[in-house]
Amino acid sequence: MNNDEKILNKSPSYFTPNKSLLSLAEAIARAPRRGLYYLRKEILLDGLIFEDCAFENCRFHTQTGDFVIRNCRISGNETVFFYEGNAKKVASLYELMNAHVNNKKIFPNFFPKMDKDGRISID
């Protein structure tokens, strides 16, 4: 073990962030974004709050659905939404319900996998 490795192994605890600092960082990250304008941006929604913002031709991503969009405008024919993880499962359930009620698939790419006997899988 060289001297650098010895120093790293004996680093004092102040090099490790404590819980209060992590809580502060989480609170800052969760603070609402207000009155902002986004043009052609990749927006990772999860864990964020947007208020009175405008999004034009942005690409939105969610895995959890844990976000808030309040009093915002979303516009542009290049706007795209990506549902992954648990958010995609919820979208699949919604599409299944839509297909059952309206007798048609609105977003076929979200329709759950179905076997030849009509049993569905969402995973």
For range 43-65, the mean pLDDT: 96
Q: Which of 88, 38, 73 is nearest to 58 (CA)?
A: 38
What pLDDT was estimated at residue 100? 73
CA end-to-end span of the chain: 47
What pLDDT was estimated at residue 99? 78
Structure confidence by residue, pLDDT tens digits, 66-115? 999 999 999 999 999 999 999 999 988 888 887 777 777 777 777 788 88
Structure confidence by residue, pLDDT tens digits, 7-19? 455 555 555 666 7
Q: Are strands 113-114 and 120-121 parallel, antiparallel or unpaired?
A: antiparallel
Beta bridge partners of 51: 34, 70
